[in-house]
Structure 1
């Protein structure tokens, strides 16, 4: 799935498909500064208000599953995040096909992925944002909601029949309810998954495990044992484990199994404790300490590259691809890249690699994989656009119609792929995508614009898995069969003054967590100073911050009982 900014340490661009949520604490300060105000839908939540004058180009009686086509040629502006490995092209087939099918042209403002979150905030705060703003993860809209700078999209769900159908068919009502803010509305149109799709995990050199007579690791203790065996067998490999993404992905999925949150999953630091039925500060818990101590031990014993937490992603990739490391983290899209690179460096048939199910930790075989993903926010100003209703119909068709999702993933049937009577899809001979048909000379994303993260993520189980390799499908099935999904936090929406106060408190707290976590793992700060670290968090206002969160949680529970 897709990428956003790091919640832990500064990141370099990562792989095409996946990234966990941006920390709210990272973006909240920028989002709240000078946020403009805008109109809302109407009176009570769910009231769209008077739509006269904003229905130009809209289809009458638009229905779920119906091909959207505007009644006149329209142009909608859109913010477009550009991945380094997929340079934006205005001549992509996807734009031509969207315009042909819908009479809608998209005028894209291109922003480098590395600057996307900041640019999105600046444009929304200044009131200059394009009409469509994709790649917004649930939670990233929260700082903008109290100021009315973005549209309360829940007021207009009756205009989006495909979205309503997906929510009902996939039983997503509880997930959607977690998006609601203090006014009872929600402000993001999220990506939807029929089933969870686990993302990042570790990738291992299976040929090395076989040589050592070791099974695929099932726990973090097994991971350590395998690294020890690798280091003994291959003394010339400086560090058997050299991680990508500055450790953000690994710490994120590992933390879940320790009963904590870290890396890209850190968020603002607050996490809901089911036992006490209240929010606690995760980075101050014994579980977080155990997580940090585990990775500190790997670094201290020379099993994990200390550069894992600072090196560019491409550097870590080269180390794994050339045999200078034997374990790293990955997502589905990067595995084929590793296979090609290892073939170049080691030769065909001289290696075997696999993305393994995430190891179980002290808290058990757990994974964090919800069914809501990145989607769209819309600036509040679109409510006054004469084509407002047509724009909502277009987004509904683009993001929530499953026939459209197939088109956005696979392209044009008969041109980029074929489909047989059983529903199996086959890429055209000269096209490759996500490791499928690797001999194809043209990449479906790079050359045609299909399969792009901002459109193609989510959908039915069939569509999700249709673009995965057999190995990745096996990984997904193993994860869903053997790992328990941890519950997501309940809603605790803050008012505008509360959000401002929470940002003032959480920003220095997060800075302390980030700095100290890195210092502990790298051994620059001994674990004997853990209590002093917790004291610093307390002196920086942890209790006040948690009081805000718990008050908001209790208020929401009372108002929605």
Structure 2
């Protein structure tokens, strides 16, 4: 798909909303504990209300699903009781747990409400584990909120699987800020103390990180500074992605598959990929790039960096909420740096609806389960699922929003329409919502006019939107893979090879970067990929890409 960034603002919201479908089930940081409550669905609560059982993914930022404010809103409005089966927070463990439940023949919960890639959804759908929801979705009375979505037809068609059916409800909240989430932040206070400019190239970045580690910018008399650090599974916190895009366009959401002039090719076999690995290996070897980035989770990252004066010079993260009050707005957005060839890129993921709320074959009352999911698409519920309790954590009262500065009010004249009264709620432990992991619909206008910037006050979180639009959006590629429409036969043919290749590429990258595998074994790495069926995998991807255009 060719994309003209300069025309984005002239396109209707529906056309702005096109991200690739898929990616692995989104992992949440935190412990791996599972709440093994009974998974059986349906039944009646002791209070006489129908029970809907829901499988969710454990999340360290959701304190208790049962007592959660969002849960209570749903239960009261729909006169139901929600019971939860918590799957592990780690991606692969959650996938494995769900797979074992299915294969064992155990009674499933009424609803599975976790992030799954399209091939996994289709696999379960083809086995009858998930039921199609088309009849419900096309019933304007039953699905009143879904059918009130202005982009309803776009959303519906974007969720169709290769069999032409839809098995989920959407979470659709187009947001320009999220379309290029692999951001980096640099400690502006440290730069100032050391008399350094913001680095613009990989060479300048190397020198900057070296100064951070060697020149005691936190002024505590100890050499305890970390140059660059990220996490294993936090939102867009993988430093490899930011750094590799200075050498070759590299999007983990597309399994590092690129396209040029209509031809799909893997980034991870190119000489530029090897160059990127060599650069990162140099950073790790010299102690400028923390190897903790490959093992720690988001919670551990926050504990490391959020100390008075700061411990890290550069952090990769999708959200500024990664940084606590201890840093006092020290971190500054760092645009993509240029590599040896002059490339400065960042992964582009245009907004598509995320599929959630899969109704299972064991649902006791599938229509009721659907109605509960459709209620979550209500405009106020969709705001509550992101911002928390109305009147406490957010407000759309004009008398309140008049005191807030819209993120684009100064640059584009867009006044605030939603005031975030409690911005620290997001990306931190709370009991107000499910961390937006549920059906919801928020139009593009919401993301552009929701604000926590109170007029006349110091802002708790700086407004980075204009800087992002200036520094990141121009580095989006002109040609990207948006969605791949596989046939059932294609999905079956690549199921094993895709998983094996994806895992091997990521494991090998970490091994090369950390030095556990010497880069002299690059040819062996390529040979192993060929043995795993890379050529056949690419043939299927190419066919699916051409069909999707």
Scaled by the length of structure 2, the TM-score of the pair is 0.72
Report deviation, 1:152.
Answer: 3.2
Q: 1:500 maps to which residue?
A: 492
Which residue, out of 349, 370, 374, partners 1:396? Answer: 374
2:180 counterpart of 1:196: no
Q: Which runs of 5+ in 1 are unaligned?
A: 1-19, 27-71, 343-348, 437-442
Which residue, out of 370, 373, 381, partners 2:361? Answer: 381
Report deviation, 1:457.
Answer: 7.3
Report deviation, 1:500.
Answer: 3.3
- For the 8 Å contact 1:373–1:458, the answer to whether it is kept is no
Change (3 A) 1:481 1:165: farther
2:62 counterpart of 1:77: no
Report deviation, 1:161.
Answer: 4.3
In the aligned structure 1, how far is the partner of 2:247 from the partner of 2:440? Answer: 28
SS of 1:454 mapped into structure 2: coil
Which residue, out of 49, 53, 62, partners 1:86? Answer: 62
Report deviation, 1:521.
Answer: 0.8
Q: 1:100 maps to which residue?
A: 76
Report deviation, 1:100.
Answer: 2.3
Q: Which runs of 5+ in 2 are unaligned?
A: 1-20, 28-47, 217-221, 405-419, 454-458
Matches within 5 A, 1:37-436: 74-114=50-90, 115-125=93-103, 126=105, 128-139=107-118, 140-154=120-134, 156-159=136-139, 160-166=143-149, 168=151, 173=154, 177=157, 179-198=159-178, 199-234=181-216, 236-237=223-224, 239-245=226-232, 249-256=238-245, 258-261=247-250, 265=252, 268=255, 271-275=257-261, 277-322=262-307, 323-332=310-319, 334-337=321-324, 339-340=325-326, 342=327, 352-359=330-337, 362-372=342-352, 374-381=354-361, 385=364, 387-398=365-376, 400-414=377-391, 419-422=396-399, 424=401, 433-435=422-424
**Cα deviation digits, residues 329-371 of structure 1 (max 9, x gap):** 234364343x23x5xxxxxx7x823344454655434342331
Count of aligned positions: 465
- For the 8 Å contact 1:180–1:491, the answer to whether it is kept is no
Q: 1:537 maps to which residue?
A: 529
**Cα deviation digits, residues 82-112 of structure 1 (max 9, x gap):** 2234331533333333222232332222233
- For the 8 Å contact 2:227–2:314, the answer to whether it is kept is yes
In the aligned structure 1, how far is the partner of 2:159 from the partner of 2:273? Answer: 27
**Cα deviation digits, residues 508-535 of structure 1 (max 9, x gap):** 3234323321221113333343233212
2:521 counterpart of 1:521: no
Q: 1:23 maps to which residue?
A: 24
SS of 2:398 mapped into structure 1: coil
Q: 1:454 maps to which residue?
A: 437
Report deviation, 1:136.
Answer: 1.4
2:469 counterpart of 1:480: yes
Report deviation, 1:232.
Answer: 3.9
Scaled by the length of structure 1, the TM-score of the pair is 0.70
- For the 8 Å contact 2:188–2:332, the answer to whether it is kept is yes
In the aligned structure 2, how far is the partner of 1:193 from the partner of 1:473? Answer: 22
SS of 2:149 mapped into structure 1: helix
Report deviation, 1:412.
Answer: 4.4
In the aligned structure 1, how far is the partner of 2:383 from the partner of 2:159? Answer: 27
**Cα deviation digits, residues 264-301 of structure 1 (max 9, x gap):** x25545x24132x2332332123432332331222233
Q: CA RMSD in A?
A: 3.9
In the aligned structure 2, how far is the partner of 1:466 from the partner of 1:456? Answer: 19
